[in-house]
Amino acid sequence: MRLNTGTILGGALILAMTLGWSLAAPSDTPPLGQGASAGLTAQEVALLGSLDPDHAMMQLEHISGLGEKVAGDAAERSAQQYVYDTLRGMPFAAGDVVMESFPTTTWGHEGDTLRVIAPTAEEIPTSIYGYAYGIWGKWLGKNYAFGNRDKGKVLRAPVIDVGYGTAAEFDAVGDLAGAIALVRRDDNVQVWPNTMTEEAALHGAAAIINYGYYGGVALPDGIKQDVSGGPIPEFAISKNSAARLQSLLASGPVVIELEGRAYAATEKFGESVNVAAYLRGTKYPDEYIIFGGHIDCWWVGTSDNSSSIAAVLEFARTFSEARAAGVFENERTLVFLSMGAEEFGGPSDTFYDWLIGSYEYVKAHPEIMQGLVVELNMDGVSFKKTTGQYWVENTWEINGFINEAIKAIGKTGQISLYNPIWSWTDAWSFGAKAGGSAAQSWWVAGFDAIYHTQLDNLDRADVEPMQNILKLYSLLAMRAANALVLPLDFSPTVGWAAGALGSEEFAVPYLADAFAAAKASLDELGSKAAAVNARAAELKSAYALAATDQERAAIRGEADALNRAMIDARRIINPWTLGEGGTMGSWDVFLRSDQHVHDLAQIDAAITALSRPRGPRRPRGGGAQVQMALNALEQVYTMEWGHLFSSETYHSVVDWMISDSMYWADDFDQQQDYVDVHAIYRGLKAGSLTPQGAINELQVIRQTQLIPWLEEDLDKLEWAWREAARTL
Band of pLDDT at residue 268, cut at 50, 70 and 90: low
Residue 89 predicted with pLDDT over 90: yes
The C-alpha atoms of residue 574 and residue 577 are separated, in whole angstroms, by 5
Residue 244: HSE in the Cβ half-sphere, 13 Å Cα cutoff: 19
Residue 16 predicted with pLDDT over 70: no
Q: What angle do CA 243, 245, 250 make, to 5 degrees?
A: 90
Long-range contacts of 678-682 (CB under 8 A, 24+ apart): 678/638, 678/639, 678/642, 678/643, 678/647, 678/650, 678/651, 679/647, 680/633, 681/630, 681/633, 681/634, 681/639, 681/643, 682/647
pLDDT of residue 453: 97
Residue 106: phi, psi to the nearest 5?
-130, 160
Separation of CA 470 from chain center? 21
pLDDT of residue 38: 61
Poorest-confidence range of 29-38, 235-244, 419-428, 595-604? 29-38
pLDDT of residue 623: 87
Residue 14 predicted with pLDDT over 70: no
Poorest-confidence range of 6-20, 65-79, 656-670? 6-20
C-alpha distances (whole Å) from 83 to each of 62, 78, 99 are: 11, 9, 10
Q: What is the pLDDT of residues 46-58, one digit of tens each?
A: 999 999 999 999 9
Q: Taking the CA atoms of 361, 363, 368 and 372 in sequence, report the sign of the dihedral they define.
A: positive
pLDDT of residue 21: 37
Regarding pTM above 0.85, the answer is yes
Helix/strand/coil for 261? strand
pLDDT of residue 133: 97
264 dihedral zone (left: phi>0; alpha: psi -120 to 50; beta)? beta
Start-to-end Cα distance in the chain: 49
Q: What is the pLDDT of residues 199-224, one digit of tens each?
A: 999 999 999 999 999 988 999 999 99
The amino acid at 119? P
Q: Taking the CA atoms of 383, 388, 390 and 392 in sequence, report the sign of the dihedral they define.
A: negative
The C-alpha atoms of residue 92 and residue 462 are separated, in whole angstroms, by 29
Q: H helices then E strands: how many in the chain?
A: 23, 18
Query: Once rounded to an integer, what is the mean pLDDT over residues 533-541?
Result: 97
pLDDT of residue 265: 86
Q: Is there a contact between 1 and 58 (Cβ–Cβ < 8 Å)?
A: yes
Residue 80 predicted with pLDDT over 60: yes
pLDDT of residue 666: 81
pLDDT of residue 664: 80
Q: Is there a contact between 328 and 279 (Cβ–Cβ < 8 Å)?
A: no
Query: Once rounded to an integer, what is the mean pLDDT over residues 648-677?
Result: 88
- In terms of Cβ atoms closer than 10 Å to its own Cβ (0-12, 13-18, 19+), residue 244 is middle
Higher-confidence position of 228 and 62:
62
Band of pLDDT at residue 36, cut at 50, 70 and 90: very low
The C-alpha atoms of residue 660 and residue 666 are separated, in whole angstroms, by 6
Poorest-confidence range of 24-33, 418-427, 558-567, 647-656? 24-33
Residue 1 predicted with pLDDT over 70: no
% the chain with pLDDT above 90: 87
Domain boundaries defined on the chain: 5-93+280-481, 106-266, 505-728
Residue 32 predicted with pLDDT over 80: no
C-alpha distances (whole Å) from 648 to each of 195, 199, 354 are: 10, 8, 26
Q: What is the pLDDT of residues 369-409, one digit of tens each?
A: 999 999 999 999 999 998 999 999 999 999 999 999 999 99
C-alpha distances (whole Å) from 113 to each of 8, 126, 174, 200, 230 are: 46, 6, 27, 20, 19
Residue 37 predicted with pLDDT over 70: no
Residue 491: HSE in the Cβ half-sphere, 13 Å Cα cutoff: 11
Q: What is the pLDDT of residues 627-655, one digit of tens each?
A: 999 999 999 999 999 999 999 999 999 99
Strand partners, 588: 581
Strand partners, 177: none
Q: What is the full DSSP assignment across 441-472?
A: E---TT-TTTTTSTT-SGGGB-HHHHHHHHHH
pLDDT of residue 270: 82
pLDDT of residue 4: 32
Beta strands at 127-128 and 234-236: parallel, antiparallel or unpaired: antiparallel
The C-alpha atoms of residue 724 and residue 435 are separated, in whole angstroms, by 12
Separation of CA 701 from chain center? 31
The alpha carbons of the chain give a radius of gyration, in whole angstroms, of 28
Residue 22 predicted with pLDDT over 90: no
DSSP at 661: T
Mean pLDDT (the chain, rounded)? 92
Identify the CA nearest to 543 among candidates 25, 24, 23, 27. Answer: 27
The C-alpha atoms of residue 463 and residue 292 are separated, in whole angstroms, by 19
Q: Is there a contact between 152 and 135 (Cβ–Cβ < 8 Å)?
A: yes
Helix/strand/coil for 580? strand
Band of pLDDT at residue 622, cut at 50, 70 and 90: low
Residues 6+ apart with CB under 8 A from 460: 302, 303, 382, 383, 384, 450
The C-alpha atoms of residue 338 and residue 79 are separated, in whole angstroms, by 10
Longest dimension (CA), the chain: 90
Band of pLDDT at residue 443, cut at 50, 70 and 90: confident
Exposure class string for 655-668: b at 16+ Cβ within 10 A, else e: ebbbbbeebbbebb
Band of pLDDT at residue 575, cut at 50, 70 and 90: very high
Q: Taking the CA atoms of 649, 655, 657 and 662 in sequence, report the sign of the dihedral they define.
A: negative
The C-alpha atoms of residue 679 and residue 398 are separated, in whole angstroms, by 45
Residue 231 predicted with pLDDT over 90: yes
pLDDT of residue 18: 34
DSSP at 431: I
C-alpha distances (whole Å) from 504 to each of 318, 526, 593, 608 are: 47, 19, 8, 18
Identify the CA nearest to 424 among candidates 304, 512, 574. Answer: 304
The enclosing H or E element of 479 equals helix 463-481
Instruction: State the CB neighbour count (10 A cutoff) for residue 30.
Output: 13
The amino acid at 190? Q
Q: Is there a contact between 707 and 626 (Cβ–Cβ < 8 Å)?
A: no
Q: Is there a contact between 379 and 306 (Cβ–Cβ < 8 Å)?
A: no
pLDDT of residue 723: 98
pLDDT of residue 659: 83
Band of pLDDT at residue 718, cut at 50, 70 and 90: very high
Helices 307-324 + 463-481 axis angle, to 10 = 50
pLDDT of residue 28: 38
Identify the CA nearest to 408 among candidates 500, 471, 338. Answer: 471
% the chain with pLDDT above 70: 93
Which CATH number applies to 106-266: 3.50.30.30, 1.10.3720.10, 1.10.3470.10, 2.40.128.20?
3.50.30.30
Query: Once rounded to an integer, what is the mean pLDDT over residues 275-290?
Result: 98
Helix/strand/coil for 589? strand
Q: Is there a contact between 312 and 292 (Cβ–Cβ < 8 Å)?
A: yes
Band of pLDDT at residue 660, cut at 50, 70 and 90: confident
Q: What is the pLDDT of residues 450-505, one digit of tens each?
A: 999 999 999 999 999 999 999 999 999 999 999 999 999 999 999 999 999 999 99
Q: Which class is domain 5-93+280-481?
A: alpha beta
Q: Is there a contact between 335 and 277 (Cβ–Cβ < 8 Å)?
A: yes
The C-alpha atoms of residue 130 and residue 299 are separated, in whole angstroms, by 11
> Would you state the torsion angle of the CA atoms of residues 355, 356, 357, 359, taken in this order, to the nearest 10 degrees?
80
Query: Once rounded to an integer, what is the mean pLDDT over residues 426-453?
Result: 95
